[in-house]
């Protein structure tokens, strides 16, 4: 995915408190409180601009979804779409998936989606693949 620097992205997202979670570690074990219900929790790791997760969230209003995207300049597209078309069952995090255990209690997430993850074809970059053994152990 082409990365375009968007210096305004962080401030824009921080203003959307109902969508963008700045301190997800504070919600570890308590995501149902954030959503205000006990619906299942599905996350997508590496959500990009959010096409998949927003489509799913629209189809499944009885499921809570969290988009996890490393880059603010990419995740801001998801937040913009949610400002245009609010969906109470979606939140967005800009965090590194290697720290998921800091944000979710064991067993708190019911499903993890990975879609078209960056391939990182060179062997020396294998540890960055979202399917690398350390990531799989985390999920």
Ligand X SMILES: C[S@@+](CC[C@H](N)C(=O)[O-])C[C@H]1O[C@@H](n2cnc3c(N)ncnc32)[C@H](O)[C@@H]1O
Which positions lie near ligand X, rule CB under 6 A?
1, 45-48, 51-52, 68-71, 74, 96-98, 115-118, 130
As measured in angstroms, the least distance from the Cβ of 52 to ligand X is 6
As measured in angstroms, the least distance from the Cβ of 130 to ligand X is 6
The backbone torsions φ and ψ at residue 52, rounded to the nearest 5 degrees and listed phi first, read -65, -50
Alpha-carbon torsion, ordered 101, 130, 136, 33, to 10 deg: 30
Question: Considering 96, 102, 110, 118, which one is annotated as catalytic?
Answer: 118
As measured in angstroms, the least distance from the Cβ of 61 to ligand X is 21
Which of 39/49 has CB closer to ligand X?
A: 49
118 is catalytic: yes
Which of 47/64 has CB closer to ligand X?
A: 47
Question: What's the angle, vertex CA 66, arms to CA 7 and CA 125, rounded to 5?
Answer: 65
Rounded CA separation 75/48 (Å): 6
Rounded CA separation 118/1 (Å): 8
The backbone torsions φ and ψ at residue 38, rounded to the nearest 5 degrees and listed phi first, read -105, 25
Which of 28/37 has CB closer to ligand X?
A: 28
Which active-site residues does the annotation give?
118
């Amino acid at each position: 995915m082409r990365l375009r620097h968007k210096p305004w992205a962080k401030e824009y997202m921080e203003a959307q408190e109902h969508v963008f979670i700045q301190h997800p570690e504070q919600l570890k074990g308590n995501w149902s409180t954030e959503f205000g219900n006990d619906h299942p929790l599905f996350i997508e790791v590496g959500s990009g601009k959010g096409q998949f997760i927003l489509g799913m969230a629209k189809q499944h209003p009885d499921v809570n979804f969290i988009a996890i995207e490393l880059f603010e300049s990419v995740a801001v597209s998801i937040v913009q779409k949610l400002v245009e078309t609010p969906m109470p069952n979606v939140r967005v995090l800009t965090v590194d998936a290697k720290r998921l255990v800091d944000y979710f209690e064991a067993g708190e997430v019911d499903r993890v989606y990975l879609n078209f993850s960056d391939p990182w074809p060179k062997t020396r970059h294998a540890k960055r693949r979202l399917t690398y053994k350390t990531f799989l152990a985390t999920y």
